Amino acid sequence: MTFKEFNFKNTLNQAIQNAGFKEPSPVQKESIPIILDGHDMIGQAQTGTGKTAAFGLPIINMMSGDNGIEALIIVPTRELAMQVSDELFRFGKIVGYKTATVYGGTAYNKQIERINHANIVVATPGRLQDLLKSKKIKLNPKFVVLDEADEMLDMGFLDEIKNIFTYLPEDRQTLMFSATMPKQIKKLAEEILKNPKSVTITKSERTNSDITQKFYVVSDYERDDALLRLIDYKNPTKCIIFCRMKKEVDRLSSYMTSQGFKVAGLHGDMEQKQRERTIRAFKQGLVDIFIATDVAARGLDVNDVSHVFNYHIPFDSESYVHRIGRTGRAGNKGEAITLVSPNELRTIKRIEKDVGTKMISRVVPTRQEVQSRKDSNLLKEIAQTNITPSAIELVKELQHDIDIVTIAYLLASIIQKEVDVKGKDNIGLNQEEIDRLIERNRNQKGRDSNHRRGRRGRNRNSSRGDSRRRDRSHRRKRYKS
């Protein structure tokens, strides 16, 4: 299936083509026809499944562009507001639609001015409620989207959401997207939606089939070495490294910068302007490697991320889905790589079961393997390089004192320094050791299961024994009487 089958306007089809989108994701296939038919909708889908385009494309297609604010999208965080706004602007700019982003921490006047000139508003609940309550703005949108509804519930925004909807017109098309459906979200849906259609992306569809998922077993002290070795070997065009803690982001950013990588870090303690600059630098290719915490990178949408690295495996399956969803976007192939310690292998199996996916175990390449690949790439690069006039002059100048073969050796030595692979020869466990660990964990799980069954059996036998003893005691008392 292609996007042309939705019969969008020619200008929107052009924007989709410019964005590099090839075929719709499962949530887009199911949601877009429902939205185009004018129905309210509840979409249950994970982050990274293409939800923004799922609601953004049909809404932009149906907008007239004549009546000020036609669409309002409410999201939980500033980062997600910026990302959604950027994507909607990318789709709508050919048509001439403008977006305004509304969130706390920036001046009211600037945001109000942007709202007055916009067709689409993307807002976080706190600042949007403030503007509506103070009557600084008045909105009359035809389309309202509540994105990441369960995230807003977790962040304590439920009352703000309910209050915001009291300021919105009754005559509207309302869409809600949420990864999970707790009772409070279902109740909210009943209050704000009218006869909604439902779209649910099943567990097997939660991770993108375009993403190859691998894990490498290393000791904790080897994580830095393993990460650098894998980046050297994979040579990503643009990648994101996920860490669990802010201090880990800061430490790893400093370390990788000292190793010569173009790195930027992102976490919740950074000021808003700094965060915006960092995300913009990553999008524009000014930095190649982005190191972030889960919360800071929520909603980050960059289509050309070739690799995602999990420096530590996330605590829960939802975070794993969110992380790896940063790659393999817009029809591109992606690779997700997770570093785990031997003790974390059980977590790998749990995530595989929860998410309905399969992670492949791999061995960290040796120093020689990486060196061979780099040397091979260097030879190709040299063979394909065009000779420049300045290079000819340089060699002529050197030939006054040095023969041509020695010049070649010297220049090759200078270039070789750039591709030398550092570090120890072997990092992490080999495949045989990994397989043994997996088998040991499987056997341990079986023993634990048998132990639990045996304990339950003993408890039942004990209960029956207690019952028989009580019966005998009761009969003895009856005979005595």
**What is the mean pLDDT of the segment spanning 206-230?**
89
CA distance 304 to 420: 27
**What is the mean pLDDT of the segment spanning 260-285?**
84
Both 239 and 354 in a single domain? yes
Tell me which of 158, 173, 201 is where a domain ends. Answer: 201
Both 73 and 189 in a single domain? yes
Within a domain: residue 447? no
Mean pLDDT lowest for which of 3-7, 61-65, 331-335, 445-449?
Answer: 445-449
Within a domain: residue 430? no
Find which of 36-45, 80-89, 148-157 is predicted with most confidence, using mean pLDDT: 36-45
Within a domain: residue 452? no
The token pair that represents 261 in the structure block: 């990588």
Both 24 and 146 in a single domain? yes
Both 15 and 143 in a single domain? yes
Domain tally, the chain: 3
Both 234 and 126 in a single domain? no
What integer pLDDT is reported at residue 173 of this predicted model? 97
DSSP string, 23-91: S--HHHHHHHHHHHTT--EEEE--TTSSHHHHHHHHHHHH--SSSS--EEEE-SSHHHHHHHHHHHHHH
What integer pLDDT is reported at residue 480 of this predicted model? 44
The token pair that represents 204 in the structure block: 């097997």
**What is the mean pLDDT of the segment spanning 186-199?**
94
Both 260 and 391 in a single domain? no
Within a domain: residue 456? no
What integer pLDDT is reported at residue 293 of this predicted model? 86
Q: Which of 138, 167, 180, 168 is nearest to 47 (CA)?
A: 180
pTM given for the model: 0.58
CA distance 387 to 389: 7
Within a domain: residue 480? no
Within a domain: residue 433? no
Tell me which of 201, 229, 261 is where a domain ends. Answer: 201
Tell me which of 178, 201, 224 is where a domain ends. Answer: 201
What integer pLDDT is reported at residue 412 of this predicted model? 87
Question: Is the confidence at residue 343, as pLDDT, over 90?
Answer: no
Both 140 and 42 in a single domain? yes
Both 411 and 378 in a single domain? yes
CA distance 170 to 186: 19
What integer pLDDT is reported at residue 276 of this predicted model? 80
Both 156 and 221 in a single domain? no
Determine phi and psi for 97, rounding to 5 degrees: -80, 140
CA distance 340 to 227: 11
Mean pLDDT lowest for which of 188-197, 267-276, 454-463?
Answer: 454-463
pLDDT-based confidence at residue 477 (cuts at 50, 70, 90): very low
Both 53 and 24 in a single domain? yes
**What is the mean pLDDT of the segment spanning 463-476?**
51
What integer pLDDT is reported at residue 445 of this predicted model? 61
More confident residue, 317 or 92: 92
Token pair 């394909």: residue: 384
Residue pLDDT, tens place only, 45-102? 766 677 889 999 999 999 988 778 999 999 988 878 887 888 899 899 888 899 999 9
pLDDT-based confidence at residue 294 (cuts at 50, 70, 90): confident
What integer pLDDT is reported at residue 362 of this predicted model? 94
Mean model confidence pLDDT for the chain: 85
Contacts within 8 Å (CB) and 24+ apart, 187-191: 188/149, 188/158, 188/161, 188/162, 189/42, 191/162, 191/165
What integer pLDDT is reported at residue 194 of this predicted model? 94
Percent of the chain whose pLDDT exceeds 90: 47
Question: What is the separation of C-alpha 374 from the centre of its chain, rounded to a whole number of angstroms?
Answer: 29
- Kindly report the CATH number assigned to the domain that includes residue 51: 3.40.50.300
Both 61 and 129 in a single domain? yes
More confident residue, 57 or 346: 57
Determine phi and psi for 313, rounding to 5 degrees: -65, 135
Q: Kindly state the DSSP code that residue 343 receives in the 8-state scheme.
A: G
Within a domain: residue 478? no
**What is the mean pLDDT of the segment spanning 93-114?**
89
Both 176 and 118 in a single domain? yes
Within a domain: residue 445? no
Q: 372 is in which domain, residue-wise?
A: 368-419
What integer pLDDT is reported at residue 207 of this predicted model? 62
Mean pLDDT lowest for which of 33-42, 343-352, 446-455?
Answer: 446-455
**What is the mean pLDDT of the segment spanning 385-392?**
92
pLDDT-based confidence at residue 227 (cuts at 50, 70, 90): very high
Enclosing H/E stretch for 130? helix 125-133
CB neighbourhood size of 471 (10 A): 10
* Residue 455 φ/ψ region, left for φ over 0, alpha for ψ in the -120 to 50 degree band, beta for the rest: alpha
